[in-house]
Chain A
Amino acid sequence: MSATLQPDLAERVGMDPSFNPSACMNCGICTAVCPLGLRHLPREVFAYVVLGMEGEVLQHQEEVFSCLLCKLCEVSCPAGVHITENVRALRHYFDRNVFHIEGR
């Protein structure tokens, strides 16, 4: 199975200038410290956004909304990824594109 890529996805998801999933260097520290033990958020879901794999992003709706925004990962991230801001941007993206809720 292979996915079709949407190269402009990252721009559609993150309208906020602080949105920076591509700064991730894939070290995996965030996954190691996550108190909920989320497996794909943030690192892998961010990678799907950067690559433009929209279908994969949509499949991870549950993880995107279970995140506590506790910032444990963010303070540990060596690459300065604005993890919680990015997760909030992803939630807005779901609001607009899946639940069709407009406005912020």
Chain B
Amino acid sequence: MSERKIGVYVCQCGGNISDYVDVERVRQAVAEDPDVVVARTAMFTCSDATQQEIVDDIKLDDLDGLVVASCSPKLHTFTFRGVARRAGLNPYRYTQVNLREQDSWAHTDDRAGATEKAIRLVRAGIARTRLLEPLDPTVVETVPRALVIGAGIAGLRAAIGLADIGLGVILIEREAEVGGHVRELGTMYPHDRQGQELISELLGEVRRREGIALFTNAELVRKGGTFGNYEVDIRTRGDSNMTRRFEVGSVIVATGFDSYLPEEGEYGYGIPGVLTLPQFKKLVDASEGPLVYGDRPVRSVAYIYCVGSRQGESGPNQYCSRFCCTSAVHTDLELRAKSPRVHQYHLYRDMRTYGRYELLYNDSREKGSAYLKFAPDTPPEVQRRGDGRLEVRVHDQLTSQREVNLEVDLVVLVTGMVPRSNQELIQRLKLPVGRDGFFNEIHPKLRPVETVVDGVAICGSCQFPKTAGESVASGLAAVSWSAAMLKQGRAELDPQVATVDPDLCTFCGACTEACPYGAIGQQDLGGGRQVAVIDPATCKGCGGCAPLCPEHAINVLGYTGREVEAMIESLAAGVA
């Protein structure tokens, strides 16, 4: 039996755990276990005071292993690794046991059972900790340059931010012109500035910075290399079809959205005079004075909201596109300024002019626009009349479900945002795509622009529907994230990766095929002997390869075969 000195801390989580688990009993049960030198409970183990207490214990008793039984490792692994590091204990000799999500919250009706389970979970943690070896993080050098994909408002602003903190930037845009959707817009909310103008200003700023290399008609065709030092191949079309290779430390994806295109017949789409919001916005932007459509003056307009968004049973898009209520209301005001006599009717489901955009909604109502509310199960119907005018029938929830019949010159379908089709890029970068088709961050609050792919962040409306301001804010968040990583010149990678024992490996190839990250290569040991070798900078330690190896030659450091077996034995002890 190994001679180890382990400290065990059982957390009450302020009742989250202790209401359903007898933490004192858990402490007593393991306090006398072999190798356990200290065993304590705490109200909040993550509090500064308790963290300091653990640091003191480690130093005083010269502990060489640490177990904290509290919440999910997703939350506090890094917290307690930090505690170990501060006390001079190797952080990888720490085990987090999850007594909250995996025990107390799951068994609120069975205190005795939950307590018994807690004891087993903690013992398994101790069993692993007994065997843990110190590990040192892999240190990689990082290239002080970022690739920004997509030069919409988010990508342009991110490129400028990166250059201003001294990082090199490769900015690529698939189209011939930069600016994305904002380039197409006239007057925008909330500042009433012209979209085209904003984009040419940003483009001027980009051109003024030597650190930014902008390529239009350009796409990423390959990403190789390893974290901190990716090799990216950029192909440009046009007079010169060529591919250039760059080394970059991070990649920021800012590829934006597409506007929803209604199907033929959806709310009368296809009938002359039934327009989408982008089409109508263009018409209003371009008009000087009273609005005219197809040679006829426009005297009345009906807007139908939530087209292509919040579809419920009727389509795949379940989300709110967020910008469209405000955009429709803002366009109403823009039109009213040009054609004060136009009657405008808004057929909405819920007004989501959030925050200060509420003021635009107030303004539009106060100036006389009418708002009617329809229920999703009785959507408005649009028809063309004999005389060419349009008829919209709606059951208005604000006037006791009265059927209201609007005769109008134009119908505007307030269309939302959909994910831009970008299949090749998704494959090349292995981007995580959510159920709604937009790209996924790791955590919406704690890590809002990072993806699960190391060194790759997302920002702007490719992540979820955003206004231009929100897109820029997330672009700048991606800049800070890049700076935190690249300005140091080096990054530490988790050393808990898979390794191959070359004495056992016969290079059957089972593992190379299985690795989702392509981390496993081949090494020639001489004398015709080939073995598998795993690149620690590419391996994510997922463990997918280890069980496939027929020779048991692969171990994930920190979760070796021995360590996992010891945990299982301890969990199942005494169970027939």
Q: Which chain A residues have a beta carbon within 8 Å of chain B's beta carbons? A: 1-5, 7, 10, 20, 22-26, 43-44, 47-48, 50-51, 53, 56, 79
Contact = CB atoms under 8 A, between A and B. Distances in A.
Contacts of A53: 399, 402, 404
B399 A44 contact: yes
A49 B361 CA distance: 19
A3 B368 contact: no
Contacts of B311: none
Contacts of B370: 22, 47, 50-51
Interface string B396-425: 101110111111000000000000000000
Given A7-B300, A50-B370, A23 B402 contact: no
Contacts of B361: 25
The 7 closest A-B pairs by CB, nearest first: A2-B405, A7-B343, A23-B366, A2-B403, A50-B370, A22-B368, A22-B365
A51 B372 contact: yes
A4 B398 contact: no
Nearest to A11: B368
Contact of B368 (A1, A5, A10, A26): A10
Interface residues of B, number: 25
A47 B404 CA distance: 12
A24 B300 contact: no
Contact of A22 (B300, B366, B402, B403): B366
A50 B405 CA distance: 14
Contact of A26 (B300, B373, B403, B405): B373
Interface string B334-348: 000000000101000
B351 to A, nearest CB: 8
Given A7-B300, A7-B343, A26-B371, A1 B403 contact: yes
B506 interface: no
B393 interface: yes
B138 interface: no
B366 A2 contact: no
B567 to A, nearest CB: 58
B340 to A, nearest CB: 12
Contacts of B343: 7
Given A26-B373, A56-B399, 10 more contacts: A2-B405, A4-B405, A10-B368, A23-B365, A47-B396, A48-B399, A50-B370, A53-B399, A53-B404, A79-B362
Contacts of B300: 7
Interface of B: 300, 343, 345, 361-362, 365-373, 393, 396, 398-400, 402-407
A26 B365 CA distance: 11
A7 B404 CA distance: 13
A50 B362 CA distance: 14
Contact of A5 (B366, B373, B393, B406): B406
23 contacts: A2-B404, A2-B405, A5-B406, A7-B300, A22-B368, A22-B369, A23-B366, A24-B365, A25-B361, A25-B362, A26-B373, A44-B399, A44-B400, A47-B370, A47-B398, A48-B399, A50-B368, A50-B370, A51-B396, A51-B404, A53-B399, A56-B402, A79-B365
A25 B371 CA distance: 9
B405 A3 contact: yes
Contacts of A44: 398-400
A25 B350 CA distance: 12
A5 B404 contact: yes
A29 to B, nearest CB: 14
B467 to A, nearest CB: 22
Contacts of A47: 370, 396, 398-399
Contacts of A26: 371, 373, 398
Contacts of B396: 47, 51
A24 B370 CA distance: 10
Contacts of B368: 10, 22, 50
A7 B405 CA distance: 12
Nearest to B345: A51
B405 A25 contact: no
Contact of B404 (A3, A23, A24, A79): A3
Nearest to A5: B406
Given A5-B406, A7-B300, A20 B366 contact: yes
Contacts of B403: 1-2
A66 to B, nearest CB: 19
Given A26-B371, A26-B373, A47-B399, A2 B365 contact: no
A6 B369 CA distance: 14
Contacts of B369: 22
A43 B398 CA distance: 9
Nearest to B342: A7
A25 B405 CA distance: 21
B393 A2 contact: yes
Contacts of B362: 23, 25, 79
B17 to A, nearest CB: 43
Nearest to B358: A25
A22 B362 CA distance: 9
Nearest to A25: B365
Contacts of A22: 365-370
Contacts of A2: 393, 403-405
Nearest to B403: A2
B241 to A, nearest CB: 57
Contacts of A25: 361-362, 365
B349 to A, nearest CB: 13
B382 to A, nearest CB: 15
- Which of A10, A23, A50, A79 lies at the interface centre, i.e. has the most chain B CB atoms within 10 A of its CB? A50
Contacts of B404: 2-3, 5, 51, 53
